[in-house]
Structure 1
Amino acid sequence: MLEYICHPRYIYVTRIMALIFALLLSAQVFAEQRPNIILIIADDLNWDDIGAYGNPGVKTPNLDKLAKGGMRFDNAFLTASSCSPSRASMITGRYPHNTDAEQLHWPLPAEQITVSEKLREAGYWTAAAGKWHLGEAIKERFNEVRESEYAIDEPSGSAQWVPLLEERPKDQPFFMWFASWDSHRPFYQGEYPVKHTQSDVRLPPYYPATELYLNDFAAYYDEIARLDESVGKVVQTLEKQGVADNTLIVFVADNGRPFARDKTTLYDSGVKTPFIAYWPSGIPKGTASKSIISAIDLAPTFLTLAEADIPQSFEGKSIDGLFQEPNEAFREYAISERNWHDFEDHGRSVRTEKYRYIRNNYFDLPATPSADTVYHKTWWELTRLFEQGALTQQQARPFLTPRPKDELYDLKNDPFELTNLATDIKYQGVLQRHRQILDSWITSTKDFIPSFRTLDDFDRTTGAYAPHRKRPRPSKMEMYHASGQY
């Protein structure tokens, strides 16, 4: 027996088996080290309406704590200024017009590849809870989906976030898609963790400082505070489970606040997003990045951290390098789209470090906001003041036609984007550069202007629903411009 054990072949085989066992053990340890990932998506939240982004009037202690313990991105931009196209872009890593779900409430087609299915293939347990807004075909890309319907299940959409964390398999890394209804209209008329007052409100100059607007902004802040409380419960659960240290939490919004000059627009207040990344074992505490990033970068980032292959269909790129080098060069610009959202419109925007360029393709139409804004009393007040001639030119923008075909703003000197520099002779070089960026992007992403316009679903003045205008979903070929040119 001793002779057999000492035989060179036996020793060789034993060493090979030991090596294989070590590799398997190493692979298991690596799998356990891959971070858990949670994406939290706020609804209709402006990028600077939380304390971490400089608004002390909004009470957001949990989000502020995340930012202090992780990284705050100061130049993060969405690909769309409305809900479902923005979310479709996040989950596919593609620009809205390439998801085939670029118009509001168009479901994401089954042929689209999602980050959730790729993480699932890589061994992650995947789940979604809260607002859905992506269509039925994509639900099967998760192990579990717990959809919340606004004002039917509960007003926030966050009731199933903690239960999913508690009921998840404990032997797999996990990916959670947590989507809130806060702060979508209509605002809930019940108890909030914090009640804000007019004195808390920081009102942009493109809204009239009336009692109604100040009170409505305070109610909007209340919604944000409730969302903040839900985020705090998620962190507390992770800490209780002992997995907080190796869990990446990314907090973003889907578009800007639900007011007339924000949501559905291509201004910063429509497509700039708060972006907080919190990962105690992977991101230095209290850091900030000024690098330009896009919502299409979320999906490839998650797959990179999971050591999974990135599909060729993804148009974004991983920001994992920024977690250690926050201000390294990443993107020269971010592109955002404006497509049909309750009312017809079509526009594109380029955001560079200092400037925003907007191209309004349907400039003959007014910049009517979303229906949930138009059927609200703040819109009726804005309409009344406009008819009385009591609004400034900036406050009256949603009513004005024709709009300029080109808009150009200097964000360093004009953060509220009030002064259009597109006709200023001193800025013609800047304008031309941004036009060229957009033209190049249009060509490279095969963007197009639809060959026909989609009817509005609501009256632009009163907000009354027009069911006879129910729009069919045309094929991509039907929508494509006959010349194939922009």
Structure 2
Amino acid sequence: MKQINLLFAFFISVQTFAQLKDQPNILWITFEDTSPHLIYDNPSSNTPNMDRLEKEGVRFNAMFSTATICSPSRSAIITGLHATSIGSGNHRSSIPFPKQIKGFPYYLKQQGYHTSNNVKTDYNVFDQKKFIKECWTESNKTAHWRNRKDGQAFFSVFNLNESHASRTFVWKEEKYKKEIFDHLPKELRTEEESLILPPFYRDSPEMRHHMARIYNCINYTDYRIGQILSQLKEDGLEEKTIIFVFADHGEAMPRGKGNGINLGHRVPMYVYVPEKYKHLSGLTMGNKTDRVGSFEDLAATILTLADIKKPAYFEGTDLLAENYSKTHFYGHKDGADDARDITREVSDGRFMYSRVYNTSLPEMQFKHYTGIADIYTTMKSDLKNDLLNEDQKNIFIKSRDKEMLFDLENDPWELNNLANDPKYTKQLKKFRKICQKEILKTRDLQFIPYGEMIRLSKETGLAPYDFKFDESIYPLKAMMSMINISGEGSKAISKQLKGLKSKNDLVRYWAAYGLRNQNYLKDSEYQIIENALKTEQVSYVQIELATILCIKNTNHASFKILKTFSTGTNYFDQWHALRNVFDYLPNQGEYQELYQSVLDQLPPKKKVKQLHKNIYFDVLETAKGGIYVYRMNKKSSSR
């Protein structure tokens, strides 16, 4: 009984302490999948509530999501760490976090805050229920600051789905109209005829219709933001609450979300600090700021506002600090739905640099969830009928350069790659150096195949964040000799072939990965690869080596390896092998039986363990995508 009384007294003292400190209320409104291109200074969108926040608060012109898709972005937001720092960079992964890493609302809750989340989480952590319980006083569809105790400070989050990809282009037209368009006041609807259309889309009535839907989802999002702000005003809290409004990553449109360029990373963000708390902000309200920020900074910013010391492991800084010194953002693109890829990005706000490690693929990589949408059907039809200009074609058919550099001031839609222009050598070297430094400084974990990361975690008994500092477990410095030459072309072949002899599994993997990106190999070089495959024991290296041999000859005996892994029981290897078949091997008609056999053999999702549910989904979607794309191409060619 004495212990219970002490705990109760402690709880009351925390509550009282929070009230005495006059800690600010904080309201977060996050919305889905939106780039500032479609809001900032764009007359095609109708966003009166965000316009008011821009006028009365601060508009951030250079705010970036660390990832280009929601779950790794939210992983960075909640932890104050890049998702690549904790291994949660793949979409909907399930990664064990070390005990010392908490979601930052935990620290607010410890200091007496009412922490409410309505309702999306999507943090990529293995034990998500426990993690959520630690963070939030309440996390559900009714969570609200109105549920707090009298006088209690709050940190209240609302996650709006109205601009999610499902709404902007995946749902069938009828559902979009019922759920979005019909609820949007007529005066807020975007006119198809006059809207601004990105130049990488063909200007046609069909594409204007698709684009108007995207704008209207943003317009309705703003309408919903207005409803929440009205509730704040009704409660007399408008001048007692610091407000953040921002999107979780780039635009839900083809070439945006899930793509390692500015359009995938940059987000709109507004911050309003009322007069009562202006001493907490180094920024003056009613202005725009060009200071560069990214999502790992948000946790540090909120704890600073609440006068709570940030944990030592945080990688971010206070976005509102008076003496702000951050000069660049570092971001990533890794596994997104069923697509496998890896790029790294750096920006100072003016230029966007992207290092592409998988140069074999174009920007527009097929993902089954979005790839079956009408907007893609329109674009693919235009491509087949030769109605697209070079820029519009290239996003579908052109292999990417190993480095991309865009001048965002003069090329906001990122069509002119300056990486090979001698005039920009200085900028290219600068960003390349920063990228290298960030990979090593953060010990970027996503250079480990997903399945191997999980295996190493089980073997060592450590979370990836904890084992990443041990070079004997994660030899990142040794791996960089192969990582850095992936996409380099023929001059890297001899080094990559030597890399196949390394004693380290991950070094051999990156040697094979780089060789798979080579456009041309000699017969003698193929023989070296074939010999290496004969002695290779590691699954993810075998898959890459077999893929190289099957690209040259689809009837090569090594296809048996790809088939075995594609139909096996290890979901990580299954996704890797199956996606390689889909992405790199010609004559897809030859693999329809393989895709169907995978679908026939997969168990019902309810029988899949929690750790494997999301990777199971990647296998499922890859097999379905392989069948869908082949059938659509066959149907198109028969017309």
Q: Equivalent of 1:362, from 338, 358, 366?
A: 358
> 1:365: how far off?
2.1
Runs of 5+ unmatched residues, structure 2 = 1-13, 168-175, 279-283, 449-508, 510-539, 545-574, 589-594, 606-610, 616-639
Q: Equivalent of 2:340, from 330, 335, 344?
A: 344
> 1:97: how far off?
1.1
**What is the aligned partner in structure 1 of residue 287 from structure 2?**
287
Whether 1:42 and 2:37 are equivalent positions in the alignment is no
Task: Tell me if structure 1 keeps the 8 A contact 2:19–2:153.
Answer: no
Q: Aligned in 2, Cα 1:424/1:175: closer, same or farther, shift over 3 Å?
A: same
Task: Tell me if structure 2 keeps the 8 A contact 1:293–1:330.
Answer: no
> 1:197: how far off?
2.3
Residue 348 of structure 1 aligns to a residue in which SS?
strand
Whether 1:91 and 2:71 are equivalent positions in the alignment is no
Which whole-Å CA distance do the structure 1 matches of 2:325 and 2:376 have between them? Answer: 39
Which whole-Å CA distance do the structure 1 matches of 2:26 and 2:286 have between them? Answer: 20
Whether 1:171 and 2:151 are equivalent positions in the alignment is yes
**What is the aligned partner in structure 2 of residue 314 from structure 1?**
314
Task: Tell me if structure 2 keeps the 8 A contact 1:81–1:256.
Answer: yes
Q: Aligned in 2, Cα 1:217/1:25: closer, same or farther, shift over 3 Å?
A: closer
| Equivalent residues in 2 for 1:75-90, closer than 5 Å | 75-90=62-77
Q: Equivalent of 2:412, from 412, 415, 429?
A: 415
**What is the aligned partner in structure 2 of residue 199 from structure 1?**
193
Residue 395 of structure 2 aligns to a residue in which SS?
helix
Any idea what the Cα deviations from partners look like across 1:399-449, whole Å, max 9, x if unmatched?
Answer: 234311111112222222111111112222221111111011111000152
Which whole-Å CA distance do the structure 2 matches of 1:209 and 1:355 have between them? Answer: 27
**What is the aligned partner in structure 2 of residue 217 from structure 1?**
211
Which whole-Å CA distance do the structure 1 matches of 2:383 and 2:177 have between them? Answer: 29
Which whole-Å CA distance do the structure 2 matches of 1:125 and 1:108 have between them? Answer: 27
> 1:309: how far off?
1.9
> 1:222: how far off?
1.8
Q: Which amino acid is 1:398 matched to?
A: I
Runs of 5+ unmatched residues, structure 1 = 1-23, 148-159, 323-327, 476-486
Which whole-Å CA distance do the structure 1 matches of 2:131 and 2:366 have between them? Answer: 28
Q: Equivalent of 1:106, from 73, 83, 93?
A: 93
Residue 298 of structure 2 aligns to a residue in which SS?
helix
Q: Which amino acid is 1:330 matched to?
A: S
**What is the aligned partner in structure 1 of residue 252 from structure 2?**
258
Task: Tell me if structure 2 keeps the 8 A contact 1:42–1:181.
Answer: yes
> 1:373: how far off?
2.8
Whether 1:189 and 2:177 are equivalent positions in the alignment is yes
Task: Tell me if structure 2 keeps the 8 A contact 1:258–1:373.
Answer: no
Q: Which amino acid is 2:247 matched to?
A: A
> 1:200: how far off?
4.7
Residue 203 of structure 2 aligns to a residue in which SS?
coil
Q: Equivalent of 2:403, from 392, 406, 423?
A: 406
Q: Aligned in 2, Cα 1:377/1:165: closer, same or farther, shift over 3 Å?
A: same
> 1:82: how far off?
0.6
Which whole-Å CA distance do the structure 1 matches of 2:389 and 2:258 have between them? Answer: 21
> 1:29: how far off?
5.7
| Equivalent residues in 2 for 1:113-132, closer than 5 Å | 113-132=102-121
Residue 439 of structure 1 aligns to a residue in which SS?
helix
Q: Which amino acid is 1:403 matched to?
A: R
> 1:371: how far off?
4.1
Residue 104 of structure 1 aligns to a residue in which SS?
coil
Percent sequence identity is: 27
TM-score for both structures, normalised by structure 2:
0.63
Q: Aligned in 2, Cα 1:108/1:38: closer, same or farther, shift over 3 Å?
A: farther
Q: More relative contact order in 1 or in 2 (CA 8 Å, sep 6+)? A: 1
Q: Equivalent of 1:231, from 218, 222, 225?
A: 225
> 1:192: how far off?
2.3
Which whole-Å CA distance do the structure 1 matches of 2:294 and 2:38 have between them? Answer: 19
> 1:321: how far off?
1.8
Q: Aligned in 2, Cα 1:238/1:165: closer, same or farther, shift over 3 Å?
A: same
Task: Tell me if structure 1 keeps the 8 A contact 2:77–2:296.
Answer: yes
Instruction: Count residues with an aligned counterpart.
Output: 430
Which whole-Å CA distance do the structure 2 matches of 1:319 and 1:262 have between them? Answer: 25
Q: Aligned in 2, Cα 1:58/1:100: closer, same or farther, shift over 3 Å?
A: same
| Equivalent residues in 2 for 1:143-162, closer than 5 Å | 143-146=137-140, 160=142
Whether 1:273 and 2:267 are equivalent positions in the alignment is yes
Residue 408 of structure 1 aligns to a residue in which SS?
strand
**What is the aligned partner in structure 2 of residue 15 from structure 1?**
none
Q: Which amino acid is 1:136 matched to?
A: K
Which structure is higher in helix share? 2
Residue 127 of structure 1 aligns to a residue in which SS?
strand
Residue 277 of structure 1 aligns to a residue in which SS?
strand
TM-score for both structures, normalised by structure 1:
0.81
**What is the aligned partner in structure 1 of residue 131 from structure 2?**
138
Q: Aligned in 2, Cα 1:313/1:472: closer, same or farther, shift over 3 Å?
A: same
Which whole-Å CA distance do the structure 1 matches of 2:131 and 2:224 have between them? Answer: 25
> 1:302: how far off?
0.4
**What is the aligned partner in structure 2 of residue 16 from structure 1?**
none
**What is the aligned partner in structure 2 of residue 3 from structure 1?**
none
Which whole-Å CA distance do the structure 2 matches of 1:118 and 1:294 have between them? Answer: 21
Whether 1:378 and 2:383 are equivalent positions in the alignment is no
Any idea what the Cα deviations from partners look like across 1:11-45, whole Å, max 9, x if unmatched?
Answer: xxxxxxxxxxxxx99966642x2111122111111
Q: Aligned in 2, Cα 1:370/1:96: closer, same or farther, shift over 3 Å?
A: farther
Q: Which amino acid is 1:240 matched to?
A: E
Task: Tell me if structure 1 keeps the 8 A contact 2:18–2:152.
Answer: no
RMSD: 3.0
> 1:270: how far off?
0.9
Task: Tell me if structure 2 keeps the 8 A contact 1:82–1:255.
Answer: yes
> 1:345: how far off?
0.6
Which whole-Å CA distance do the structure 1 matches of 2:579 and 2:115 have between them? Answer: 35
Which whole-Å CA distance do the structure 2 matches of 1:28 and 1:403 have between them? Answer: 53
Which whole-Å CA distance do the structure 1 matches of 2:139 and 2:424 have between them? Answer: 50
